[in-house]
């Protein structure tokens, strides 16, 4: 595990344990860290929940393996990507389909967290809370089904 990934996991664990932490710092650590992104048939694995498309990313192979086992799979193919590339390039590209896009980091882990599609996390053009969009139509049009439908998202 890289030093950046170790710092990110440590920050996530502290946040999970205490409910307190510097979220801005964690986003910065995520941006600097190479994370494992599962792919299916050449597309980034994602799920939709609450009207948001969530791209999965993992800080280490253990977290990714735990996620794969929970899905009933023995292994998932993955690519190593800097968090900044996911946030600055992949999220806006996937968001062109019309749904907001965020990152589910270490999904299924005790210290997992989401990086929502808001300013300061994703580029303003892909954020839900832009000045031009003060009422969130996404809230009224969103699929309210609590179940997620994991699928590949071309990116």
How do residues 105-116 score in pLDDT, each as one tens digit? 999 998 899 999
| CB 44, CB 20: distance < 8 Å | no
**Quick one: pLDDT at residue 47?**
94
**Quick one: pLDDT at residue 119?**
92
Cα 78 from chain centroid (whole Å)? 14
Model-level pTM? 0.79
Tell me if residue 35 falls in helix, strand or coil: strand
Q: What is the largest CA-CA distance in the chain?
A: 45
Give the pair of three-digit tokens for residue 15. 């946040």
**Quick one: pLDDT at residue 129?**
81
Q: What is the DSSP letter of 122?
A: B
**Quick one: pLDDT at residue 18?**
85
Give the pair of three-digit tokens for residue 9. 């996991």
Find the length of the chain: 155
Residue numbers in the chain where pLDDT is lower than 50: 133-149
């Amino acid at each position: 595990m890289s030093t950046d990934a170790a710092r990110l996991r440590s920050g996530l664990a502290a946040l999970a344990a205490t409910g307190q932490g510097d979220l801005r710092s964690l986003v910065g650590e995520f941006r600097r860290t190479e994370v494992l992104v599962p792919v299916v048939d050449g597309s980034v694995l994602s799920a939709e929940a609450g009207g948001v498309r969530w791209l999965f990313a993992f800080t280490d192979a253990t977290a990714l393996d735990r996620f794969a086992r929970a899905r009933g799979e023995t292994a998932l193919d993955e690519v190593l990507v800097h968090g900044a590339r996911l946030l600055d390039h992949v999220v806006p590209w996937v968001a062109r389909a019309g749904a907001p896009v965020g990152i589910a980091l270490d999904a299924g882990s005790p210290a997992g967290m989401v990086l929502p599609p808001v300013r300061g996390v994703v580029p303003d053009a892909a954020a839900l809370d832009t000045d031009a969009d003060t009422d969130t139509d996404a809230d009224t049009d969103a699929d309210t089904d609590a179940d997620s439908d994991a699928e590949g998202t071309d990116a």
